[in-house]
Amino acid sequence: MEAMSAGILAHLLGRQPYKELAAKTAAFGFPYVQLALSKAISDADCALGKLSPGLAQEVGGAFEKHGVRIAVLGCYASLTELDDETYRHNVDRFKEHLRCARHFGAPIVGTEVGGATDPDRRSKHAERLDRALEELVEEAERWGVTIGLEAAQRHLIDSSETLAETLERFPSSCVGVVLDPCNLMNGPRFEEQERTIREAFRMLGPRIVSAHAKDLRREADGTLTETAAGSGELNYPLFFELLEKYKPHGYVTLEAVGESQMAEAARFVREGRVAARNR
């Protein structure tokens, strides 16, 4: 893997046949991807029950042929559902990703956990999440794969604090953090983003297994809008400084970026990480 590199969410290059996607990823100069199968691949049925070591090795081999690693499998299925059938489907789908991850060449399966669709039953949603994680941690330990938990606004895990509490409940070495600093931000936290970023690394730094890079800008009405890394107001010098301190040479994957912005966003990440290392 190229030192101080940046990867990409594969589906941002467009949903297409996996061999074409692998070639396009390499053509854009990305050495690794986060691959959400159903979002990125058009010519392989990756529905529950269809994944196999053979399919995983075929897809992984296509990326490897072009010098691209699958750093993370994305499996963004809500683990908080109260409907029994939906909940079981999502948990089983995540377990299937864990079983096949190594055959794709991916050491991590990442997710945002889901929210409380019925706010009056938030405790029930939280119970579902813990039940799901009990199963998934056992499966991850069995297969030697890491679960990457990512905080996100309006999810049950929505801050450094709630993510740290989850890690305390599930202290397995097979549970790690996908850190997206923008996902930690709401209006008040963005006003104190230095404190927000420092607290994230203080609470979560040793458990980070991957990071995401996008940006935020505040609009005239006070709302926060996502944009490509380097084109907003996030304190990236601080973020890169702490990331290279805690997890040098770790995966950093671009989000919220169009094809015309990818080269510049990747350059911004690479140069920012190098500058942080040289301070």
Q: What is the mean pLDDT of the chain?
A: 96
The topology (CATH level 3) of 7-278 is TIM Barrel (3.20.20)
Backbone torsion region of residue 189, taken as left when φ is above 0, otherwise alpha when ψ lies between -120 and 50, otherwise beta: alpha
Residue-wise pLDDT for 7-55, tens only, equals 999 999 999 999 999 999 999 999 999 999 999 999 999 999 999 999 9
Q: Tell me the C-alpha to C-alpha distance, in Å, between residue 24 and each of 21, 31, 57, 86, 247.
A: 5, 11, 19, 34, 28
pTM of the predicted model, to two decimals? 0.97
- Write down the pLDDT at residue 4: 57
Residue-wise pLDDT for 231-262, tens only, equals 999 999 999 999 999 999 999 999 999 999 99
